[in-house]
Structure 1
Amino acid sequence: MLQSAALVVAAAALAAAQAPSYAPIRVDCPSAALIGRLGDPTRGNQTLPPDEQQYIDNRRNNVLPDLWQQYLNDNATGSTGYSASEIVGGQPNLGIAISGGGLRASLYGAGTLSALDGRNSSTAGPLLQLASYLAGLSGGSWTVTSVALNDLEPIYSLVTGANSSRTGGWQLDRDILAPSGLLGFSDNGNYYDSLEEDVRAKAAAGFPISITDLWGRALAYHFLNGTTEDNFFSTDAAHDQGTLFSSIRYTTSFQSGQMPYPILATTSRINENQQLTNDSTSVIPLENTGFEISPFTFGSFEATLAAYIPLEYLGTQLSNGQPTNRCVNYFDNAGFAMGSSASLFNAVQEGFVGATFSSLLSNLLQAVTDLDPPEGSVALVANYPNSFGNFTPDTGYSFESAGEQILQVTDGGEDGQNVPLMPLLAKARALDAIFAVDGSADTSETYANGTSLVATAQKVELHAHNYTRFPDIPHNQQEFVDQGLTTRPTFFGCNISDANMGNYSNYPIIIYHPNSAGANPGATNYSTFKLSYEDSETISFLDAANLYAKRGYPDPSTPTQPDEQWPLCLKCAVVDRARQRAGVARTDACQACLNRYCWSPEIADQLVNATQTAGNNTPASGGGGGGGASPSSGAARALALPAGGVVAAAAAVLGGFALLA
């Protein structure tokens, strides 16, 4: 831990990292190049951005070895039978990914993290402390940003405000769009005036704006730390208008290397005319470049770009890497970053063309128009001046938005990948295991059914050489349901030959943790449209998600009792690749665990029979097709997405923003 003097320095640095307002500013450009290239793995030269590499090296060399040693020697979570020093020498490398799905996903992710927090007396294992990376998307991005900018504050105090220096926590009892209720005209009016004033300042400074700016400012009231119960409707309070995503660097936990490296996932569309031509209810094709926002960079490892810009210069217009005007600072507003990862408003163009939503869309567009957006602003997506204009990647691919002035950034789940696995699959990050928290609303009951994993498996194969392989999974959502894999945690990719360690044939173990009705001890399937939670609902949701993450796969004969071996089995999975690198044979205890939790194509029929016998063979809502070819054949993978999904969520949010008009 840092000493008190260092804490003062960190606090001062954090204060200095705050922008004076929501509006970015123009500054002189540095002499150094503004675009960093991430290399081409086919030439063996994919690298991390230097600042990320430095952070990860410090964390993995100076922080994590002792934590892994303690974890492996902790008998409370079970004994693997391995020598801790041998496993730690193999450098385990873990990531956690939290899905989108509005406040439901935020709370499901938060409750799960509380179960993975070693500071709690009861835990499935201190994976939050052990993880090298923590990725979030849409509603999951709200959790990740809040956790990171609030210095890894314990989850319950972060969310509820109890026993916290913050007053009110996330304040989910106040609706994100109508915090004083539909009839609270005066207070709501002050709220909207504050949002509009901030966004108008950005427009007046000459930067493109959209509905995402208003949305991001609204999210900041809840997930950052400048809004309290007392000042919520105050027009004098700053409400974190100048808090930057890069401010994460100055938190105590980040400066001391105690924090998993946080990443927000987004995707992009080329322009307003880009539309899917198939029957999928996703909005963005998988071929589009997905972007990530980290404390140091904005960019993508995908072969269509393989480049980044330093976060402090995000918003700078570049042509082939050269500034076309002065450079930009303070574009990386933390609320705008969260809003970008959850910017699903363009879905209205795909899903709603009838009279039902025409008045809502009209009101929305008028609200943005009244803020005097600069020419070229695109109303329904996050607007980023294109730093990758006329850019040519080193990979032999072309960047699809190279010819656009505005980089149109959208909700990271609009291509079907609602769990942000792609950033964690980059070869340079070399993760061994990823704990995938899936709070998606894939079914009519608002539970997950494997849709996101199916989409990611297909995405990896589009530009496979930039990523580690994705492990074998069932062909489609219906198979996930038929095999009972939507009702319990499952490990995918357990077994890999020693000969394939360290090359493209390697892949991480995916620890899939879907939100489901199966063994759930409480309500965690609220609608994505629900934009407020009573305090009692918030606590019960956190409790249920926490318990679910600690119960594992109960024995069918005692379905209400947690699996006592779950903490051990989780431990066996997260260290298995390090064990293999160290040349250590699996112990009987870990082999028994992996036999219980690991999936492979060879046991698919056995799982179907067991699920049918248990009476859990219910149809996958909206699940749909998929070929019968091998899961590793890209053309055979089906991308059948649930009806409604992101399009319906967009309608709900649009309806709320109609109040602005």
Structure 2
Amino acid sequence: MLSQAVLVISAATLAAAQWPSYAPALVSCPSDSILERTGNPISGNQTLFGAEASYIQNRRTNVLPNLWQQYLQDNATGSTGYDVMQIVQNTPNLGIAVSGGGLRASLYGAGVLSALDNRNSSTAGGLLQLANYLTGLSGGSWTVSSLALNDLQPVYELVAGINNSRSGGWMLDKSLITPDGLLGISQNGDYIDALSADVSNKSSAGFPISITDLWGRALAYHFFNQTTPSNFYEAAPHDEGLLFSSIRLTQNFQAGAMPVPILVTTSRQSEQQQLTNDSTSVIPLQNTAFEISPFAFGSFDPSLSARIPIEYLGTQLSNGQPLNSSACVNGFENAGFMIGTSASLFNAVQESFSGAAFGSIISRLLQKITDLNPPAGSVPLVANYPNSFGNFTPEGGYTFESSGNEILQITDGGEDGSNVPLYPLLVKARAVDAVFAVDGSADTSETYANGTSLIATSDKVAMYMHNYTDFPPIPATQADFVAQGLSTRPTFFGCNSTTGGNQSAIGAYPLIIYLPNSAGAHPGATNYSTFKLDYSYDEVVGFLDAAHEYTLRGFPNASSPNEPDQQWPLCLKCAVVDRARARAGMNRTAACEACMNRYCWSDAVAETLANSTANGDQASSSGKPSSGALKTPALSYMALAGAGLVGGVALLL
């Protein structure tokens, strides 16, 4: 429950990109209801948030036609043979999803997005600007948010500094937990004290706090732009009041020139539910997945189907109504807290607390939070959100699992196993045609991806998400992904939809372009451990270079494994416009049919792929993880990541 000591200030402050402090504040509630339903889960009559719908319509009308025409007519990427204007008139709807996986996933996602940027002389250039949606989860949320909040700054400038300088950019040479090194006791202590002072303001204002607040403030130092090498340990603002909604104030967003960024999280009903969960993931698949956009916070899952404007996030409601008309909240949507929420994984190691080492570590960490006098009801190991969906009953006979909670417990979006944030891109109202799925997960002993996330997402869609699009056919197990070589190269899933490009039709699904992090010409450059919490400048640039290059390699020939497939740019073009091509009533051209034959997966080709992989015929089989290296979904990644983070904190406190 929020303390009545919360400061009340004018909502007009929201006009600025920076809130006055890390502490949110109470404001008078608007006359209209702030809670919206997203549509009936049974009938499927979904609606987008009004501001999102307007933004996308503006892009479709005023921005995308010229961009798609330029992309399709670019000779460097080849010709599909389609009537370009018919494709443009049936505007393709592209989404890009960047997975979780700590700093490794952040850098892998950044390198891929660099290769998709039309400002680079890239054969895949343009897809970043052509995408309507850019989703991120955990480490991927750090990349997506940093890029959006910095007005779509070119990736190398954003990450490595302008002109690849050794200053500026992301502060990755300083550990997220011990920035002055393991022996830097004084400055490390000053760093944590500064983070704690900001979080203390939130606690003093009566809002629940947890470890996630400290974590979010640390991430802000490393990924946003008010922190520099020269002021890192100084009493500077360090974006303590930066709002996630301020993305809407950036120049590119104002011009409709940026994909809508969306972060993905999941919910925990209670500690008991988590600890008695008998699945291989930390959080059960049936729990509600939430999305955070510059417009709203909520979920299209049938278990909720509701949202709240992000400006009023943190407002406690009962059956859609505020507890009193002066108890609405502004300023809760702190950008650091939002990306900290999407990567809030401390609860994932709860079962290890009984060990002496973990017991000591967690005791110290919890003591740090306890010293800040958190309001009663604060839950220490998850992100705490005053519940805007309290006592809420979804339509269609569904039940929201956390409707009885005063505090909505939000955790890392990958804790249910779906580490690639595809859920927002399966919403029927968004009618996404194609998804570029960037998977930097650590599913194998070599710290590469193997399709685990796609399988978890497919399972959730089939079992629980009845008002989303279908999920395209994929192999049944991680072992199948590996055996067929699909963990080592890009693959198209869902090529053979029968809905004529109508993405809102029953049985429709997007075409997924799956790009797993895998071995290539630069061994060790992109598969660092999730334990790694800092990167040198040379490691950063080497990682970006490798990920950028791997995005452009496609599926090489066995005789030249380090040479890119010369047809990959054209095949990528064929894939992203395939649903628009179907809507236009055009058959695939011979060029695109050849591309689909090369890159599309189906049951019909599974045995052939497995045989060719077993015989070493696939160019990228070097570095292929063995089936014995497979791990169970999510839990192994989360436990490792959590242990690494908590261990780092122990060295600091």
TM-score, scaled relative to structure 1: 0.93
Q: Which residue of 2 is the match for residue 168 of structure 1? A: 168
Mapped partners of 2:604, 2:347: distance in 1: 42
Letter aligned with residue 122 of structure 2: S
Mapped partners of 1:522, 1:445: distance in 2: 9
Q: Which residue of 1 is the match for residue 643 of structure 2? A: 651
Letter aligned with residue 57 of structure 2: D
Q: Secondary structure at the match of 1:200?
A: helix
- Work out whether residues 321 and 391 of structure 1, in 8 Å CA contact, stay in contact via their aligned partners in 2: yes
Please list, as runs of the form range in 1=range in 2, the aligned pairs for 1:294-313 lying within 5 A after superposition: 294-313=293-312
Q: Which residue of 1 is the match for residue 9 of structure 2? A: none
Please list, as runs of the form range in 1=range in 2, the aligned pairs for 1:145-160 lying within 5 A after superposition: 145-160=145-160
Please list, as runs of the form range in 1=range in 2, the aligned pairs for 1:473-552 lying within 5 A after superposition: 473-498=474-499, 501=502, 502-517=504-519, 523-552=525-554
Query: 1:472 and 2:473 equivalent?
Result: yes
Write the deviation string for residues 429-456 of structure 1: whole angstroms up to 9, x where unpaired: 1000000000000011100010000000
Letter aligned with residue 623 of structure 1: L
- Work out whether residues 286 and 415 of structure 1, in 8 Å CA contact, stay in contact via their aligned partners in 2: yes
Letter aligned with residue 201 of structure 1: N
Q: 1:296 to 1:173 in 2, by over 3 A?
A: same
Q: Secondary structure at the match of 1:465?
A: coil
Q: Which residue of 2 is the match for residue 407 of structure 1? A: 408
Q: Secondary structure at the match of 2:615?
A: helix
Q: Which residue of 1 is the match for residue 209 of structure 2? A: 209
Mapped partners of 1:406, 1:370: distance in 2: 20
Mapped partners of 1:355, 1:70: distance in 2: 61
- Work out whether residues 348 and 647 of structure 1, in 8 Å CA contact, stay in contact via their aligned partners in 2: yes
Mapped partners of 2:275, 2:314: distance in 1: 28
Aligned-pair CA distance for 1:86:
0.5
Mapped partners of 2:214, 2:444: distance in 1: 30
Aligned-pair CA distance for 1:41:
5.2
Please list, as runs of the form range in 1=range in 2, the aligned pairs for 1:273-292 lying within 5 A after superposition: 273-275=272-274, 277=276, 280-292=279-291
Aligned-pair CA distance for 1:164:
8.6
Q: Which residue of 2 is the match for residue 631 of structure 1? A: none
Q: Which residue of 2 is the match for residue 233 of structure 1? A: 233
Q: Which residue of 1 is the match for residue 133 of structure 2? A: 133
Q: Which residue of 1 is the match for residue 8 of structure 2? A: none
Q: Which residue of 2 is the match for residue 557 of structure 1? A: 559
Write the deviation string for residues 99-145 of structure 1: whole angstroms up to 9, x where unpaired: 00000000000000000001001242311010000000000000000
Q: 1:14 to 1:32 in 2, by over 3 A?
A: closer
Q: Which residue of 1 is the match for residue 616 of structure 2? A: 614
Query: 1:50 and 2:42 equivalent?
Result: no
- Work out whether residues 80 and 592 of structure 2, in 8 Å CA contact, stay in contact via their aligned partners in 1: yes
Mapped partners of 2:370, 2:636: distance in 1: 28
Letter aligned with residue 268 of structure 2: R
Aligned-pair CA distance for 1:548:
0.2
Aligned-pair CA distance for 1:522:
5.5
Mapped partners of 2:301, 2:218: distance in 1: 31
Q: Secondary structure at the match of 1:644?
A: helix
Mapped partners of 2:35, 2:499: distance in 1: 37
Q: Which residue of 2 is the match for residue 439 of structure 1? A: 440
Please list, as runs of the form range in 1=range in 2, the aligned pairs for 1:233-382 lying within 5 A after superposition: 233-235=233-235, 237-275=236-274, 277=276, 280-325=279-324, 326-382=327-383
- Work out whether residues 496 and 506 of structure 1, in 8 Å CA contact, stay in contact via their aligned partners in 2: yes
Q: Which residue of 2 is the match for residue 197 of structure 1? A: 197
Of residues 566, 570, 573, the one that matches 1:571 is 573
Q: Which residue of 2 is the match for residue 629 of structure 1? A: none
Query: 1:623 and 2:630 equivalent?
Result: yes
Write the deviation string for residues 248-268 of structure 1: whole angstroms up to 9, x where unpaired: 010001111000000000001
- Work out whether residues 149 and 247 of structure 1, in 8 Å CA contact, stay in contact via their aligned partners in 2: yes
Mapped partners of 1:381, 1:650: distance in 2: 12
Letter aligned with residue 295 of structure 1: P
Q: Secondary structure at the match of 1:71?
A: helix
- Work out whether residues 264 and 341 of structure 1, in 8 Å CA contact, stay in contact via their aligned partners in 2: yes
Identity %: 67
Q: 1:384 to 1:278 in 2, by over 3 A?
A: closer
Q: Secondary structure at the match of 1:87?
A: helix
- Work out whether residues 286 and 464 of structure 2, in 8 Å CA contact, stay in contact via their aligned partners in 1: no
Q: Which residue of 1 is the match for residue 397 of structure 2? A: 396
Q: Secondary structure at the match of 2:158?
A: helix
Bigger shift: residues 148-157 or 84-93 = 84-93
- Work out whether residues 315 and 387 of structure 2, in 8 Å CA contact, stay in contact via their aligned partners in 1: yes
Bigger shift: residues 294-303 or 36-45 = 36-45
Mapped partners of 1:50, 1:621: distance in 2: 49
Gaps of 5+ in 1: 1-11, 625-639
Mapped partners of 1:70, 1:353: distance in 2: 59
Mapped partners of 1:179, 1:364: distance in 2: 17
Write the deviation string for residues 522-564 of structure 1: whole angstroms up to 9, x where unpaired: 6100011101000000000000000000110001121111001
- Work out whether residues 442 and 621 of structure 1, in 8 Å CA contact, stay in contact via their aligned partners in 2: no
Letter aligned with residue 653 of structure 1: L
Mapped partners of 1:367, 1:113: distance in 2: 37
Mapped partners of 2:523, 2:571: distance in 1: 21
Mapped partners of 2:146, 2:240: distance in 1: 15
Q: Secondary structure at the match of 2:557?
A: coil
Q: Which residue of 2 is the match for residue 597 of structure 1? A: 599
Mapped partners of 2:353, 2:279: distance in 1: 15
- Work out whether residues 263 and 342 of structure 2, in 8 Å CA contact, stay in contact via their aligned partners in 1: yes
Aligned-pair CA distance for 1:176:
0.8
Write the deviation string for residues 28-52 of structure 1: whole angstroms up to 9, x where unpaired: 1111101011102532411101111
Mapped partners of 2:113, 2:373: distance in 1: 41
Q: Which residue of 2 is the match for residue 421 of structure 1? A: 422
Aligned-pair CA distance for 1:644:
2.3
Please list, as runs of the form range in 1=range in 2, the aligned pairs for 1:443-462 lying within 5 A after superposition: 443-462=444-463
Mapped partners of 2:550, 2:76: distance in 1: 19
Mapped partners of 1:233, 1:563: distance in 2: 47
Q: Which residue of 2 is the match for residue 633 of structure 1? A: none
Q: Which residue of 2 is the match for residue 28 of structure 1? A: 28
Letter aligned with residue 539 of structure 1: V
Letter aligned with residue 649 of structure 1: A
Q: Which residue of 1 is the match for residue 96 of structure 2? A: 96
Mapped partners of 1:552, 1:425: distance in 2: 25
Aligned-pair CA distance for 1:350:
3.1
Aligned-pair CA distance for 1:186:
2.0
Mapped partners of 1:250, 1:42: distance in 2: 36
- Work out whether residues 364 and 660 of structure 1, in 8 Å CA contact, stay in contact via their aligned partners in 2: no
Mapped partners of 1:128, 1:240: distance in 2: 26
Q: 1:165 to 1:311 in 2, by over 3 A?
A: farther
Q: 1:352 to 1:490 in 2, by over 3 A?
A: farther
- Work out whether residues 285 and 415 of structure 1, in 8 Å CA contact, stay in contact via their aligned partners in 2: yes
Mapped partners of 1:520, 1:514: distance in 2: 15
Q: Which residue of 2 is the match for residue 3 of structure 1? A: none
Letter aligned with residue 250 of structure 1: L
Letter aligned with residue 651 of structure 1: A
TM-score, scaled relative to structure 2: 0.94
Write the deviation string for residues 212-248 of structure 1: whole angstroms up to 9, x where unpaired: 000000000111110011100002x000000000010
Mapped partners of 1:108, 1:317: distance in 2: 37
Mapped partners of 2:441, 2:499: distance in 1: 35
Write the deviation string for residues 124-171 of structure 1: whole angstroms up to 9, x where unpaired: 231101000000000000000000000000000000112499951002
Letter aligned with residue 423 of structure 1: P
Letter aligned with residue 487 of structure 1: T
Count of aligned positions: 634
- Work out whether residues 156 and 164 of structure 2, in 8 Å CA contact, stay in contact via their aligned partners in 1: no
Mapped partners of 2:204, 2:635: distance in 1: 40
Q: Secondary structure at the match of 1:33?
A: coil
Q: 1:352 to 1:22 in 2, by over 3 A?
A: same
